[in-house]
Structure 1
């Protein structure tokens, strides 16, 4: 038994409602269970009930046991002073609010054992996606509405991380763009290393060198710990430039190369290649945030976000290690990754900052116009019949898997609720 299940029972009134009695034997009639509150405070708001002959409007709090009210310190929290009903699985202790007993409804004896058994069987499945065997039977509306919801959630979560940057950099949007972009270039394998690099090389210092491509590469590769050797003439030139800039800008200790992961990566995804791409983009667009918020079309964005790599990195994938063929620009996958994981979140964050929904609309339109991502998570959904057609779909399904399926939050998912409601 868990509170998630109790919330579901109360929200959808999944209990015997004829002649409802409270623990003190008063009669109860529920007109409206209230709006489910996902934030702090009581679990349901604006509920309407009738106790004996008196109608009440207010909040409803739900617990496994009545005594949890005190265990959670609600008796000292003014946010709970308007609770009109305490709904519990088991009533084990009388609770008072401002010296008056809180009306309490015990669910244990009025919920169908069949429903409880069905939920237990569902939630205890060993499958990663619990509804895998029943998904095809679910009607389209719950699926569509859930994907719309998780897509917005994902953009909002990414926007939250951007606002964390803004809190620490005096609302410098260019710096926040730099940090978001760098973390994106690391993908999952080298994300932490790129984040660490932006901490050791703040944008305020890097931007002073962005007019010069050699200086830009020297700062990024030097602080990343790639210039302790001289495998060839170009690495030596970067090393000399970095030593000069390191003293000029009073840079802190740099990273060491072993902090970067090369294992199991294709050469095109080596961190050395990603650093070269990041350097090329920042040199090409030193005011990247301004460009992103002022440019709408994907064709225009591709022109702006796919600069030509420096001559050395067109023929190398690491220092002293040549490529078999010349690569002079970003690939389509890299470009779309920037749009999905940097541009769309920045637009969502700016929509909140400016209170202008047009930027959120642009973020969503951007995702709807891009091809779906193909990764471990999207392949799981494909296998059970929920195929991604656009990046909007794949991002929504990634969020659904991570924030609902893996956390067993089926009763907060429209799909899970439909399955259990049958």
Structure 2
């Protein structure tokens, strides 16, 4: 027996509530199970309402596998548990006392749970621990309606999760939304390999400097490449010399330093994702759209986003991937697939949080936008597709990533709509 299951059984009243008695044979009427406390500290349920032997009680409920766990967890020394009015356990192996030496009423839940429910739980969630996800055999039984509703909730949950980082950036930037967008875009231009390096670079440049340089493409490129430490090698071409001269001027003018800027990596990257190419595209984006934040907030159409972000590099990078070596001439425009990643990881989360801060409900708008974005191709999405889970757009793929990382991997089946449906069968 697990405490997670006991909490689930209590929360959803998955037992016969009509003839409840405490372990001391006192009549127990359950009026309200209380509010589930999802924090790691304090009683499991707050503000429960009970009647024990015609005496009304309002307070907290603590749930354990055994009564003795109360002492194992040192609750007797924690004042947060002083207002516990009922101890719900699977096995009552000892009395638990309040500070005034009165016994806390105890409900032994094992006396009221149907055996078939426990058998189903064990078969579904405990016997399949070696599988990719516990319920993969039963997953095809879940209706498209339940899956669709759950995916929408998971997507919004993932947006909420991403909002934590965005709000931290907002706080660090003194509520400067333009600066937040600059940092978020930087991190996502760097992808996984250089994301932290790009973020450290954007953190090293006050956004007011970007505003002052945005009317000059060479200034922006010099600023980005110089702060990234990519102009330090001896390179013999006019373009590199111009960037070095411009960076020296900007460095002195704005008192720039590279303290805290992480190294940029080329290893194991395809040439289109080299930091040199992404920085050149990043510079061109802010040169073409100096009012980028206003555009991002205004635009609602995915085609307009493709147009806004579909910029090319400056001419030097058409036949270079690095400063040193010339390559075959090729336009290096930001692709739709890369813009999709920006929409998923930067634009939609930012628009969602911004709308909330100005008191606007944007859930429907964000759902419509994310549903037009192609789904991500990764191991999680591929495995769910093998299990016949429909994946048609980025809302689905984001939801499935959230499902795998926050529910399946954490064995939180009882908090999952799919797990609930399989367990209850109704």
TM-score by structure 2 length? 0.88
Give the drift of 1:221. Answer: 1.4
2:65–2:91 CA contact under 8 A, matched in 1: yes
In structure 2, the partner of 1:344 is: 348
Alignment of 1:126-137 (within 5 A): 126-137=130-141
Q: Which residue number in structure 2 is paired with residue 288 of structure 1? A: 292
Report the Cα distance in structure 1 between the residues aligned to 2:319 and 2:347, rounded to whole angstroms. 28
Sort the Cα spacing of 1:322 and 1:254 in 2 relative to 1 into closer, same or farther, 3 A. Answer: farther
Give, in whole Å, the separation in 2 of the partners of 1:65 and 1:384: 38
Q: Which runs of 5+ in 2 are unaligned?
A: none
Gap change, CA 1:22 and 1:291, over 3 Å in 2: same
* C-alpha displacement of 1:256: 7.7
How is 1:77-156 mapped onto 2 (pairs within 5 angstroms)?
77=79, 83-91=84-92, 92-96=94-98, 101-111=103-113, 115-116=117-118, 118-120=120-122, 122-123=125-126, 125-156=129-160
Aligned to 1:392: 395
Alpha-carbon displacement from aligned partner over 1:314-369 (angstroms, at most 9, x marks no partner)? 33222234443422421111111111111100111112211210x33322221012
Give the count of matched residue pairs.
419
The match for 2:21 is 21
Aligned to 2:247: 242
Partner residue of 2:53?
52
Cα distance between partner residues in 1 of 2:85 and 2:8: 19
Query: What secondary structure does 1:96 align onto?
Result: coil
Identify the match of residue 368 of structure 2 among 357, 365, 370: 365
Corresponding residue to 1:378 among 376, 381, 402: 381
Tell whether the 8 Å contact from 2:310 to 2:336 is kept in structure 1 after alignment: no
Residue 334 of structure 2 aligns to a residue in which SS? coil
Match in the other structure for 2:303: 299
The farther-off stretch of 365-374 and 341-350 is 365-374
Aligned match of 2:10: 10
> Which whole-Å CA distance do the structure 2 matches of 1:8 and 1:164 have between them?
33
Q: Is the CA contact 2:67–2:91 (under 8 Å) kept in the aligned structure 1?
A: yes
CA contact (8 A) 1:404 1:410 kept: yes
Q: Structure 1 residues 407 and 222 mapped into 2: Cα distance closer, same or farther (>3 Å)?
A: same
Structure 2 residue aligned with 1:194: 198
Partner of 2:330: 326
8 A Cα contact 2:46 2:59, kept in partner? yes
Structure-2 residue corresponding to 1:266: 270
- Residue 195 of structure 1 deviates from its aligned partner by 2.0
Higher alpha-carbon deviation: 107-116 or 330-339: 107-116
1:409 aligns with 2:412: yes
Show the 5 A alignment for 1:166-181: 166-181=170-185
Alpha-carbon distance change, 19 to 169 in structure 1, aligned in 2, over 3 angstroms = same
Alpha carbons of 1:289 and 1:93: their partners in 2 closer, same or farther (altered >3 Å)? farther
RMSD: 2.8
Aligned to 2:62, what secondary structure does the other structure show? Answer: strand
Q: Which moved more, 1:110-119 or 1:336-345?
A: 110-119
Gaps of 5+ in 1: none
Deviates more, 1:141-150 or 1:400-409: 141-150
